[in-house]
Amino acid sequence: MASADLVLRWVYPPEDTNPDRRTFNIIQIVEESPEPVEMYKFQHPNTGTNTGVTIVSRKNAATQRWEPAIQIDWLSDHTANVGFGTAERVHMRELRKMKKQSSKCGPP
């Protein structure tokens, strides 16, 4: 069975609308289809600030409805707390932790 490449495209709003760079959509390009498949929306309405909240929604393929997926609470340009649909928030640093050496996942 041959495997196809997964092709994703980041689509930003037009520059003349003065959007925040944290506002964009991710679509999948499917070879046999003339239409791309919408996958994710990143929406950050606070233009021009290094703080604020970015809401990430994912499109449910079965229902074709947008569902909330992630909330990113920016503390500065490079650090944030992230929520995955629960009340618990995790600092971005926790998401980047190295795997344990004994883990079977990841590079050897």
pLDDT at position 78 is: 87
pLDDT tens for residues 7-26?
999 999 998 887 788 899 99
Give the angle subtended at the CA of 107 by the CAs of 101 and 108, to the nearest 5°.
Answer: 65
- Band (1; pLDDT cuts 50, 70, 90): very low
- Per-residue pLDDT, 3: 66
**pTM of the predicted protein model:** 0.76
